[in-house]
Amino acid sequence: MRVLIADDQPSVGHTLALLVAEANHHVVKTVYSGAEAIQAYHSFRPDVVLMDFSMTKLNGGTAARYILAEDPSARIVFVSNRFIPDLAGTGASAILKKPVDLTELKNLLNSMDQQLTFDYSHGAQA
């Protein structure tokens, strides 16, 4: 899958990129703000966005609303150390707790990839 990463801490973004690669998926870009995430989403149309919820300037929640308004089928996974119920109703497809566990990330991306493949094949049959 093609993955966009957005985290305002470069070291966290870099670590997530390494984990995504280790999970056998492709990082299209790593960005460091919600505004950059919106722009990168327009440019790359990734299969999934891994986005920190609590970024300075434009946070992940606001960026997700912009992305989902443009593309309601966008799949956004928040990566956060916040209390998970606080993120309910944000439009996230899933939520990963920081620090991200490789096995959990791999399982999530593989599951999303299988769903994407099913959606494509189902649409082709219709």
| Distance between CA atoms of residues 46 and 25, nearest Å | 11
pLDDT tens profile 14-31? 999 999 999 999 999 999
Residue linked to tokens 């390494």: 18
b/e 38-51 (16+ beta carbons within 10 angstroms → b): bebbeeeebbbbbb
* Model confidence at 114: pLDDT above 80: yes
CATH H superfamily, domain 2-125: Response regulator (3.40.50.2300)
* Predicted TM-score (pTM) of this structure: 0.89
Among 46-60, 64-78, 91-105, 108-122, which is the least confidently predicted range?
Answer: 108-122
What is the pLDDT, as a whole number, of residue 57?
A: 83
- For Cα atoms 111, 85, 119, give the angle at the middle one, nearest 5 degrees: 25
Residue 8 phi, psi (nearest 5): -75, -5
Report whether pLDDT(125) > 50.
no
Q: C-alpha 65: how far from its chain's center? A: 13
Helix (H) or strand (E) holding 5: strand 2-6
What lies within 8 Å, CB to CB, of 114 at 6+ separation is none
Which residues are registered as beta bridge partners of 34? none
80-89 confidence digits (pLDDT tens) = 887 666 666 7
Look at residue 126 and tell me whether its pLDDT is greater than 50.
Answer: no
Domain spans in the chain, listed from the N-terminal domain onward: 2-125
**Could you give phi then psi for residue 98, rounded to 5 degrees?**
-80, 145
Tens-place pLDDT, residues 28-76 = 999 999 999 999 999 999 999 999 998 988 989 899 999 999 999 999 9
Here the tokens at position 42 are 């327009």
